[in-house]
């Protein structure tokens, strides 16, 4: 079993990186292989970091090596976790660019049925975390993914993992991240 975690934030040690680390560690404890990728790094070396629909179907002519590797690993994964800080009530541009470039994956149903989880963090208590999670969830649904929340056999959950900055001090978000990892494990071992 394998999970890919995509950090939409450009901060390698920020709130999203922390939460993805919690999820990754929990998944490893369940015996699931994990890899964490930076959306910022993956798109920054692309000829055009944002999609301009230069070819249809997508021929990947604008891709860089890091985006190719990310997409190869996403195709191999059983679960994909996407994390983003809240930017104006939605996901950050870096992660949206990655999703826009998944046209090449969607064209061959490469993500169809894979488990998907959204993670977000905002500066204030009600700072757009759930709208960010929903925006990420919408992109996962467009790719045919099976979107899950952090519910497990122990308790119900919400749409995704939502935290308030600083995420490493948000005990509820940390518990949701751990619950989400358990849910992924439970779904993959059914």
Per-residue pLDDT at 59: 81
For the chain, the structural domain boundaries read: 2-188
Do 20 and 5 contact (CB within 8 A), yes or no? yes
Q: What is the pLDDT of residues 8-25, one digit of tens each?
A: 999 999 999 999 999 999
Q: What is the pLDDT of residues 110-119, one digit of tens each?
A: 999 999 999 9
Per-residue pLDDT at 26: 98
As a whole number of angstroms, the distance between CA 47 and CA 58 comes to 14
Q: Is the pLDDT of residue 178 over 70?
A: yes
Distance of CA 184 to the CA centre of its chain: 13
Is 2-188 a CATH 3.40.50.360 domain? yes
Q: Is the pLDDT of residue 153 over 70?
A: no
Q: What is the pLDDT of residues 42-98, one digit of tens each?
A: 999 988 888 888 888 888 888 999 999 999 999 999 999 999 999 999 999 999 999
Do 163 and 189 contact (CB within 8 A), yes or no? no
């Amino acid at each position: 079993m394998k999970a890919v975690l995509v950090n939409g934030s450009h901060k390698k040690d920020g709130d999203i990186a922390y939460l993805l680390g919690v999820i990754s560690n929990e998944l490893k404890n369940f015996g699931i292989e994990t890899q964490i990728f930076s959306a910022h790094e993956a798109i920054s070396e692309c000829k055009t970091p944002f999609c301009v629909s230069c070819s249809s179907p997508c021929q990947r002519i604008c891709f860089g090596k890091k985006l190719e590797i990310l997409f190869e690993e996403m195709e191999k994964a059983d679960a994909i976790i996407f994390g983003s800080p809240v930017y104006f009530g939605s996901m950050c541009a870096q992660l949206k660019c990655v999703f826009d470039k998944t046209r090449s994956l969607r064209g061959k149903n490469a993500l169809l049925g894979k488990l998907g989880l959204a993670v977000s963090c905002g500066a204030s208590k009600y700072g757009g975390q759930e709208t960010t999670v929903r925006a990420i969830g919408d992109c996962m649904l467009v790719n045919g993914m099976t979107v899950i929340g952090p519910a497990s056999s122990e308790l119900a959950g919400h749409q995704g993992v939502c935290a308030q900055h600083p995420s490493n001090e948000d005990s509820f978000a940390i518990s949701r991240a751990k619950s989400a990892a358990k849910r992924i494990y439970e779904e993959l071992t059914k």
